[in-house]
């Protein structure tokens, strides 16, 4: 990075730091959510709540489905939850050419 990059880049440093912090937090949350021990504890808690009558059988099934779905990921062909790429952004490197699914729409 040259002198001009340093001169004009330093005001953006706090923003870049906040963005990186957000990325680190997201990575940590994803690791914790997919940790087998944490998932097991959550499933045991759901079973305990159902055994104590705190939740209905339907709610137990729904919560267990949510935990297991989180472990295996979203079904194929569905968009991931949360914000996606910015409008007009492309994951194909900007070539403008469609991917293998381009003709299937």
Q: Does this model's pTM top 0.85? A: no
C-alpha–C-alpha distance, residues 59 and 52, integer Å: 13
Residue 67 exposed, middle or buried by CB count within 10 Å (0-12, 13-18, 19+)? middle
- Mean pLDDT computed over 33-52: 89
Q: Is the model's pLDDT at 97 over the cut of 70?
A: no
- Mean pLDDT computed over 69-85: 62
- Mean pLDDT computed over 20-47: 90
- Band (pLDDT 50/70/90 cuts) for residue 80 is low
Lowest mean pLDDT among 4-18, 59-73, 76-90: 76-90
Q: Which residue has the higher pLDDT, 93 or 16?
A: 16
- Contact, 85 vs 91, CB < 8 A? yes
> What does the pLDDT read at residue 2?
78
- Contact, 49 vs 41, CB < 8 A? no
> What does the pLDDT read at residue 49?
93
């Amino acid at each position: 990075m040259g002198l001009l990059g340093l001169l004009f880049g330093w005001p953006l440093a706090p923003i870049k730091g906040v963005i990186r912090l957000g990325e680190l937090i997201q990575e940590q949350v994803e690791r914790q959510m997919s940790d087998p021990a944490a998932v097991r504890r959550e499933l045991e808690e759901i079973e305990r709540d159902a055994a104590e009558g705190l939740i209905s059988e339907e709610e137990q099934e729904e919560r267990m489905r949510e935990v297991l779905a989180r472990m295996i990921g979203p079904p194929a062909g569905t968009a991931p939850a949360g914000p996606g790429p910015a409008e007009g952004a492309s994951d194909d490197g900007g070539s403008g050419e469609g991917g293998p699914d381009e003709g299937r729409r």
